[in-house]
Structure 1
């Protein structure tokens, strides 16, 4: 969240070894004025201890705002407790200038820690000179701004459909829910449509459409300031429709838990306006590959919940932030490691996302993203699937090259019940598609994401 300015002289940097606190007091604070603070656990403690020391938190039209975020750690292996916190004191009456920054690297007791913080502020605030400054505030703010990634901006996360796009400081957490939906229709070979008459030459059934819905549950935890754990578990709801040779329309469905993906995100660069981290992990076969239809026949490959085998995941994410604009790129390669128990394995997949986003306000941004996907065909085959019945049963009808384009909206919230939450959405359209064999074409998709960070946006 914070990057201390290297040229701060010792008179401005105040430390408390007892409570592991570092305070950089940049400008004088009018302690008789009014204050407000972030609505979270640390904010509640600051409001209480600062209030007991005489600071006024009663006025909604406050002059100073104390922005604070925190990290968690485990106590007795299962119980979470606040481990550290960081914050800024902002002078809203002077153009939102940052006048102080503070860090507690290890919180032994939250109440005594925040009490020590107000003691340091009150003691050293008396040392301000007649002009009310230690140093030139504009110079300090400019240098701080150059080195600080603003995680409160609506464009500081990637667009909705992208996973594992950011990292967290030690103890920082994020919970996320994502819903994605896609619909496909028509039958393609390469990028040409095949008619029902064409399909009937080779297959008994004509697949007319497929609809895939996925509920995803994300979790992130900052193991250290350099290393973040990311996990994602899906719940799939799939539907396929086909016409028989007698022109009867049928639908078959499947649903269930998908494969669990785990990644370790390691910070390679966190410098000025750019962040780079590696994405290294694996996909575990927690999804079923034995879903059946109402007649106890095995369902096609695309209607199963998972891959049935472990896959490795490797890639990296580059994210740049400018004044009102941000951009990023994320290449991810997924490698299937062995055949599953039904005798096949999913094709290796290269996915490259690149995007740009522009802030419309402090709360809203718009984004444009493109996603290049190269998917190899299925290797091996399920011996229970009759490949002459429909195109979905034939493993030769797998693998493709796609280029999708997406328009998105991103929202961040700084007060009320949505405090520390993010909402983003995208509408996805195909720009280019080329399919191996005969496959149902992908026509449009939608993604909706809600994310919550208990310790606040800062620090990730």
Structure 2
């Protein structure tokens, strides 16, 4: 309940404004939706958490904005939860032997909150090919507990790191194979920073400014291929689809490492409540590799600084609502909301597991 309240605080202002606007739009929308060739239906798009799910007709544009919130907390090794005290007394410090480095980890992340703002533009080059460009802006917060000295479980204090800024830019071509199947041919351009710094609390009581560990950097520093394939279809009352996408790193970045390759498979089913409202359920499986290489400026007695303590596998269940204004002043505007809770997480630990995700977005075609 505490984590849900955090998300509510993060999204309340934006959510209230959007929902109020759509309520007004639906109030002036005819009771019966348009039934002409340009009829709008909430089933026409996948859940808002699925990117690149649909193509556009030649000459058609779509603009979109999404806010994705993720909350993480605790510590997990594999599928097992462990306490901070267990971490600092049993997990070796990769950097032990270097000046000031204790034999075990002495700093433990306890919670993390991430908000990603995503702005996208889609354009139908032809009826078979749609081009999509997406930029994003991140705000992150990670809380830590520092334990005293080189041994024991006495706590010294806590601190928070808060990097923020633009992330990597995505360019994707959606290439139709049939009316219901298309290829996602994507390229990620390294526009996000991977040299963010912040102040920390060391086990000896110092407060240096250091380069932040891998999970807190905003960009990969590498050009990445993002191939995929998407299937989506619908009837009058139901919509369904599936998508498989990957991220393949093209070499290492200037700091000497590359994030792990990623693969995501998802499938969804949606049911029409009215032409303007659809309820969806979705399942998503993901695998993410460890960091390959190491940044020599990222070093310390904390799990997030170890390239081997990155990545893992997860399965997440999600539910959502899609709204589409089928007439009136807001005709053509769409609002999507989707929340997810992990079913299982097997992490290359110790890592913080995800508690939940919440995505909300608006879309408009013209």
Structure 1 length normalisation: TM-score? 0.65
Listed as ranges, the matches of 1:7-406 within 5 Å are 152-201=40-89, 202-245=104-147, 246-270=155-179, 275-294=180-199, 295-387=208-300, 389-406=301-318
* Contiguous gaps of at least 5 residues in structure 1: 1-59, 68-95, 102-149, 455-460
Deviations 1:73-97 (A, max 9, x none): xxxxxxxxxxxxxxxxxxxxxxx6x
Partner of 1:47: none
Deviations 1:93-121 (A, max 9, x none): xxx6x6xx7xxxxxxxxxxxxxxxxxxxx
Q: State how far apart, in whole Å, the 1-side matches of 2:40 and 2:176 are.
A: 19
Q: State how far apart, in whole Å, the 1-side matches of 2:365 and 2:135 are.
A: 18
Q: State how far apart, in whole Å, the 2-side matches of 1:354 and 1:370 are.
A: 6
Does structure 1 retain, via aligned residues, the 8 Å contact 2:39–2:326?
no
The yes-or-no answer on 1:422 pairing with 2:310 is no
How far off its partner does 1:151 sit? 6.5
Structure 2 length normalisation: TM-score? 0.81
DSSP 3-state at the match of 1:269: coil
How far off its partner does 1:296 sit? 3.0
Deviations 1:226-250 (A, max 9, x none): 1100111110001100111134121
- Equivalenced residue count is 309
* Contiguous gaps of at least 5 residues in structure 2: 1-27, 90-103, 148-154, 200-207
How far off its partner does 1:418 sit? 2.0
How far off its partner does 1:450 sit? 0.3
Q: Which has the higher contact order (CA 8 A, sep 6+)?
A: 2
Give RMSD over aligned pairs: 2.0
Q: State how far apart, in whole Å, the 1-side matches of 2:175 and 2:84 are.
A: 50
Q: State how far apart, in whole Å, the 2-side matches of 1:322 and 1:249 are.
A: 54
Structure exhibiting the larger radius of gyration computed from Cα positions = 1
DSSP 3-state at the match of 2:46: coil
DSSP 3-state at the match of 1:197: helix
How far off its partner does 1:437 sit? 2.4
DSSP 3-state at the match of 1:290: coil
Q: State how far apart, in whole Å, the 2-side matches of 1:160 and 1:414 are.
A: 18
Does structure 1 retain, via aligned residues, the 8 Å contact 2:339–2:356?
yes
How far off its partner does 1:152 sit? 1.5
Deviations 1:325-347 (A, max 9, x none): 11100000110011001100010
Q: State how far apart, in whole Å, the 1-side matches of 2:295 and 2:115 are.
A: 24
